[in-house]
Chain A
Amino acid sequence: MSSETSQRTTERGRIRVTGFDVDRVESRDPLSSWEPDLQSEEGRGRLEYAWKRFRRNHLALFGAATIGFMILLAVFSRPIQLPSSFPVLAGQTVQPFSLAPADPANQDVITGYREPTLENVLTWPPTGLYLFGADWAGRDILSRVMYGGRWSLSIGFIAVAMALLVGIPLGSVAGYYGGKVDELIMRIVDMLYAFPFIVLAIAVIAVLGRGYWEMILALVVVGWLPYARIIRGEILSVKENEYVTAAKALGSRDRSIIVRHILPNAMAPVIVQATLSIGTTVLVAAALGFIGLGLSPASAEWGVMLNVEQDAIARGRWWAGLFPGLAIFVFVMAINLVGDGVRDAFDPQGDQTDSDTGGLR
């Protein structure tokens, strides 16, 4: 030990190391091919990371595929003809395919309920006619389930999209500005939350009457609440980040701070919630249909199909209820798988390279 020469002292800063010549490192050519690279590979933003993780989640991919399949079936079940009032291509058929074995509205009231049968698939040319049986009016259930997806699915997606359009701006304003604005918006949210979800929707329909857009409006009225709440909470925490202060210090305007710095970093939980609530929205739409407040009884919306067959199911004509029910079930299940996948993809805890080796890189 070399300490014999040194004495105990109360003086600070005695030791000085000189000659550790940094310039030598900077001026010499690299000794080896090893380069002090950046910590991770180029150009993968958080969204790309999320997508990469999502792709590895087989269950979620299966869900996404199922939803894609159902959407395709709905779109291609019958030809789509634009209404004659449409500004361009009025009255033209934009989608000529017709996968459904029969016109979903085609009745054969005399024969009525027909049990599911495989017969028609085995004939030539094969057809799915009556594969799911026929309902009280003799309409082919397979065709109706395929075609009905147009209502059920579109209601789910459109209602959620519109709810986002209402909830995000309101929640953002409440979270960013705080104070009285926040108080006002959040008290409205609390008030609407105090009504049972379905009762509120029923009330709206009772006022507006039945119909496709009325139904969507009813779903939006109750649907925007969670987004406003989530985005507000998220913004409260994101706005504490120093990059927001930095933007203010640079003189950015409020709108640019919200849109550029806060919202993109606050969206992840909203996206997760939105995905999951497409399923619930479809369920509520079906429930409204089932209690007779949905679309017109003639439509093939899945909930409505269940509604008109209430007593048939009780009398043992199981197929009349099973297949529309199954369609709802499969769709909601699939969307939940996707939703869980999206959540896991955004959740940093799920990212092993970020959390488990924490501090090592």
Chain B
Amino acid sequence: MAMLEVEDLNVRFYTDDGVVKATNDLSYRIEAGERFGVVGESGAGKSVTSLALMRLIDEPGVIESGEIRFKGQNLLEMNEEEMRSLRGNEIAMIFQDAETALNPSYTVGEQISEAIRYHLDLDEAAARERAIETLESVGIPSAAERYSDYPHEFSGGMQQRVVIAIALSCDPDLIIADEPTTALDVTIEAQILELLEEVATEFDTAIQLITHDLGVVAEFCDRVMVMYAGHPVEMAPVEDVYYNPQHPYTVGLMSSIPRIGDDRDRLQTIPGRMPDLIEMPPGCNFHPRCPYAEESCTRVDPQLVDVETGDPADPINSDAQTAACLAHTGELTGELEYEVTVRGEDDFPGPDGASSSAEVTDR
């Protein structure tokens, strides 16, 4: 049993304009100590996923169905009190905007030790000591002194370190990091990613990293889930997603990022934009933007399947590369014609040749 198992999660928002289908039959798992990436563009339902894990979905949103099992316990059946003792203690969150995640009218020390006192039942002095230790472990110099500083006295990068310290303070098993570096400059981003990597290894913490930055995912994650319009479209170990993407949306994403050192004149990108989550296209949601779409794509809503076998995916128990595209179930007459080439490896024959050229045919 994995540490976290999400099964068929459906989150809906009932708004005046209609029902927003934020996640649809979302299933995935995170092992202890694993780094799991959730990638997608804005509106893909990434953040809702993380809020659902913490049961922090507010009106008019509801978790309509599904199970979220954390260490075997279904979070959706817990009462508020049990949930509170879990939040911050076993599952912690890191937000994009550190400035608003910290309360400006308390010192950072108080904010850290508050969580420690509540969850670990320590007295004030012990909590203070532990808070200072945590601040030190996230690389804040003169931690004892800075304990009594207010958030505005820290720079943006340092504030994000404090947020990470708060998340780490109770030694959680899972940290949900929602775009933790998006608001930071690239040199600071590098510091924070390095820090996250360090602490995740040191404390053996699993991290669910939500981001839109494919560079960050490549660097940080073990496994990735790509989301589009509230649906998981591809889930695989990180190397497969980058060297051998199997869903047209993933392929499109990979081909639209400008990469340093490749001298393309034009970026091949995905036309159009993501549909809003109220009125979605029939069949495969991606078909209006997909160069490989056919008539059948407008009728059949593709499910995640194992790309090798075409069998329905089992994201909870298997590690296989899965994608939700009809190309993998033989329902598409054409092929996904694209090629991934890795410079410097053209004459490096792979065992099956699949690593450099990823043409998917009917099985």
Direct contact of A and B (CB under 8 A): yes
**Contact at B15–A2, with CB atoms within 8 Å?**
no
In the complex formed, the residue of B with least CB distance to A38 is B276
**Contact at B271–A13, with CB atoms within 8 Å?**
no
Task: Return A89 CB to nearest CB of chain B, in Å.
Answer: 49
Not counting A17-B338, A360-B20, a sample of 5 additional A-B residue pairs whose C-beta atoms are within 8 angstroms of each other reads: A2-B240, A16-B342, A17-B251, A17-B255, A32-B298
Cross-interface CB contact of B295 among A9, A17, A31, A39, cutoff 8 Å: A31
Give Cα A31–Cα B332 distance, bound, in whole angstroms. 14
**Contact at A352–B60, with CB atoms within 8 Å?**
yes
A356 is an interface residue with CB less than 8 A from chain B: yes
Can you list 25 A-B pairs with a CB-CB distance of less than 8 A?
A: A5-B348, A5-B355, A6-B239, A6-B345, A6-B355, A13-B259, A13-B262, A16-B262, A16-B341, A17-B251, A19-B338, A20-B270, A25-B289, A25-B293, A26-B271, A31-B298, A34-B288, A34-B298, A36-B272, A36-B275, A36-B288, A353-B15, A356-B15, A360-B45, A360-B277
The stretch that binds A, out of B30-38, B278-286, B323-331, is: B278-286
**Contact at B43–A17, with CB atoms within 8 Å?**
no
In the complex formed, the residue of B with least CB distance to A26 is B271
Given contact pairs A2-B354, A32-B298, A25 touches B271 in the complex (Cβ within 8 A): yes
**Contact at B342–A14, with CB atoms within 8 Å?**
yes
Cross-interface CB contact of A24 among B279, B291, B339, cutoff 8 Å: B291
**Main SS of the interface on chain A?**
loop
A122 is an interface residue with CB less than 8 A from chain B: no
| Contact partners of A360 in chain B: CB under 8 A | 13, 20, 22, 43, 45, 48, 276-277
Task: Return B353 CB to nearest CB of chain A, in Å.
Answer: 9
A1 is an interface residue with CB less than 8 A from chain B: yes
**Contact at A39–B340, with CB atoms within 8 Å?**
no
Interface membership of chain B positions 214-258, coded 1 if the CB is closer than 8 angstroms to chain A and 0 otherwise: 000000000000000000000001011011110010011011000
**Contact at B268–A359, with CB atoms within 8 Å?**
no
Cross-interface CB contact of A18 among B47, B242, B293, B339, cutoff 8 Å: B339
Task: Return B262 CB to nearest CB of chain A, in Å.
Answer: 4
| Contact partners of B293 in chain A: CB under 8 A | 25, 31
| Contact partners of B243 in chain A: CB under 8 A | 2-3, 6, 15
Give Cα A114–Cα B246 distance, bound, in whole angstroms. 92
In the complex formed, the residue of B with least CB distance to A12 is B261
B81 is an interface residue with CB less than 8 A from chain A: no
Interface footprint category on B: 35 or more
Which among A4, A9, A361 has the greatest number of chain B C-beta atoms within 10 A?
Answer: A361
Cross-interface CB contact of A357 among B15, B242, B270, B280, cutoff 8 Å: B15
| Contact partners of A2 in chain B: CB under 8 A | 239-240, 243-244, 350, 354-355
Q: Sorted from nearest, which 3 A-B pairs have the closest CB atoms?
A: A13-B261, A13-B262, A5-B350
Task: Return A84 CB to nearest CB of chain B, in Å.
Answer: 56
A264 is an interface residue with CB less than 8 A from chain B: no
B86 is an interface residue with CB less than 8 A from chain A: no
A298 is an interface residue with CB less than 8 A from chain B: no
B85 is an interface residue with CB less than 8 A from chain A: no
| Contact partners of A34 in chain B: CB under 8 A | 275, 279-282, 288, 298
**Contact at A357–B294, with CB atoms within 8 Å?**
no
| Contact partners of A353 in chain B: CB under 8 A | 15-17
Given contact pairs A5-B355, A16-B341, A22 touches B268 in the complex (Cβ within 8 A): yes
Task: Return B13 CB to nearest CB of chain A, in Å.
Answer: 5
B129 is an interface residue with CB less than 8 A from chain A: no
**Contact at B355–A17, with CB atoms within 8 Å?**
no
B356 is an interface residue with CB less than 8 A from chain A: yes
B186 is an interface residue with CB less than 8 A from chain A: no
| Contact partners of A359 in chain B: CB under 8 A | 42-43, 47
Give Cα A1–Cα B348 distance, bound, in whole angstroms. 16
**Contact at A32–B17, with CB atoms within 8 Å?**
no
| Contact partners of A19 in chain B: CB under 8 A | 337-339
B273 is an interface residue with CB less than 8 A from chain A: yes
| Contact partners of A356 in chain B: CB under 8 A | 13, 15, 58-61
**Residues 116-135 (chain B) with a chain A CB within 8 angstroms:** none
A45 is an interface residue with CB less than 8 A from chain B: no
| Contact partners of A13 in chain B: CB under 8 A | 259-262, 343
Give Cα A12–Cα B257 distance, bound, in whole angstroms. 13
A240 is an interface residue with CB less than 8 A from chain B: no
Cross-interface CB contact of A17 among B254, B277, B343, cutoff 8 Å: B254
**Contact at B252–A20, with CB atoms within 8 Å?**
yes
**Residues 1-55 (chain B) with a chain A CB within 8 angstroms:** 13, 15-17, 20, 22, 42-43, 45, 47-48
In the complex formed, the residue of A with least CB distance to B348 is A5
| Contact partners of B42 in chain A: CB under 8 A | 359
Give Cα A22–Cα B292 distance, bound, in whole angstroms. 10
Give Cα A359–Cα B182 distance, bound, in whole angstroms. 15
A123 is an interface residue with CB less than 8 A from chain B: no
A40 is an interface residue with CB less than 8 A from chain B: yes
**Contact at A361–B43, with CB atoms within 8 Å?**
yes
| Contact partners of B15 in chain A: CB under 8 A | 352-353, 356-357
B297 is an interface residue with CB less than 8 A from chain A: yes
B287 is an interface residue with CB less than 8 A from chain A: yes
Give Cα A158–Cα B355 distance, bound, in whole angstroms. 78
Give Cα A162–Cα B125 distance, bound, in whole angstroms. 62
**Contact at A32–B16, with CB atoms within 8 Å?**
no
Give Cα A32–Cα B278 distance, bound, in whole angstroms. 17
Give Cα A16–Cα B265 distance, bound, in whole angstroms. 13
